[in-house]
Amino acid sequence: MTEVAPACIMAESEGTGATLEWMRPDQVMRLYRMKVKKRYLQARITRSEASDSQLQPTGDPDQFHFSVPQRSQKRKNPFAIGETCKKQKDELPTGLEISNDNTLFELFHLEVQREKQTAESLSSDGSLTFANVLSKLESSVHTADVGAPKGEKCIPIDWTLKTKMKFLSLRPFPWNGKLKTSEEASGTTGFVRCLNIREQETTLDTSPNARFHQCCLIWQHPSLPWLELFPRTAGKVSASLASNASIANSQYMKEALHGDWRDSFRSLFHLLRARQCPYFYVCANTFTALFRAAGVCGLSEMHALLTPTTRGFRQALKQEEIEYSMPLRKDQKRRSGTDSDSRTVDVGMSNSGTAEHREGAGDYEELEEEEDEAQDAWLESLGVENSEIRKINHSQARVTLEKESEGDNMRQSLVFVKGVEAQALFNFLINCKSATATTGALAGVPPTLLAPTAFHGASLKPLKVRESMVHVKNEQYHSLELKGPLLPHVLPSLCHLMESSQLEQYSASCAQLPATTSFSVAKHGAGEAAVVEGEGAAKMPPNIFGQENLSDCGFSKELLRHFCDPDPARIEVLESLKFSNGLYTWS
Question: Which helix (H) or strand (E) is 41 found in, with range?
Answer: helix 25-53
Q: Count CB-CB contacts under 10 A for residue 542.
A: 17
Sign of CA dihedral 56, 62, 66, 72: positive
CA distances from 182 to 78, 189, 206, 466 (A): 78, 10, 10, 20
91 exposed, middle or buried (CB, 10 Å; 0-12, 13-18, 19+)?
Answer: exposed
What is the C-alpha separation between 123 and 128, in angstroms, rounded?
Answer: 8
| 333 Cβ contact partners less than 8 Å away, ≥ 6 residues apart | 340, 344
Q: Count CB-CB contacts under 10 A for residue 561.
A: 16
Cα 76–80–85 angle (5° rounding)? 130
Q: In 3D, which of 40, 36, 37, 65 has the Cα closest to residue 51?
A: 65
pLDDT digits (tens, 9 = 90+) for 19-58: 457 888 888 899 899 999 888 888 888 877 666 555 545 4
The three-state secondary structure class of 466 is strand
Residue 571 in contact with residue 492, Cβ under 8 Å? no
pLDDT digits (tens, 9 = 90+) for 113-137: 655 555 555 444 445 455 555 565 5
Instruction: Output 578-583 pairs: Cβ under 8 A, ≥24 positions apart.
Output: 578/506, 578/507, 578/508, 579/495, 579/498, 579/499, 579/503, 579/505, 579/506, 579/507, 580/151, 580/504, 580/505, 581/149, 581/151, 582/153, 583/149, 583/150, 583/151, 583/152, 583/153
| 194 Cβ contact partners less than 8 Å away, ≥ 6 residues apart | 453, 553, 554, 555
**Residue 27 CB-half CA count within 13 A:** 10
Q: Is residue 338 pLDDT above 90, yes or no?
A: no
Q: Is residue 184 pLDDT above 90, yes or no?
A: yes
pLDDT digits (tens, 9 = 90+) for 514-567: 999 999 999 887 544 333 333 333 444 556 777 888 989 989 888 998 899 888
The one-letter amino acid at 317:
L
| 123 Cβ contact partners less than 8 Å away, ≥ 6 residues apart | 129, 131, 132, 135
Q: Is residue 14 pLDDT above 50, yes or no?
A: no
Name beta bridge partners: 100.
Answer: none
Q: Is residue 450 pLDDT above 80, yes or no?
A: yes
> What's phi and psi for 20, nearest 5 deg?
-115, 145
Q: Are strands 217-221 and 448-451 parallel, antiparallel or unpaired?
A: antiparallel
pLDDT at 546: 79
The three-state secondary structure class of 46 is helix
Q: Count CB-CB contacts under 10 A for residue 456.
A: 14
pLDDT at 226: 86
pTM over 0.75: no
What is the C-alpha separation between 339 and 335, in angstroms, rounded?
Answer: 8
Q: Count CB-CB contacts under 10 A for residue 292.
A: 25
Q: In 3D, which of 330, 308, 311 has the Cα closest to residue 518?
A: 308
- Local confidence band at 108 (pLDDT 50, 70, 90 cut-offs): low
> What's phi and psi for 406, nearest 5 deg?
-65, -45
Residue 221 in contact with residue 264, Cβ under 8 Å? yes
pLDDT at 240: 47
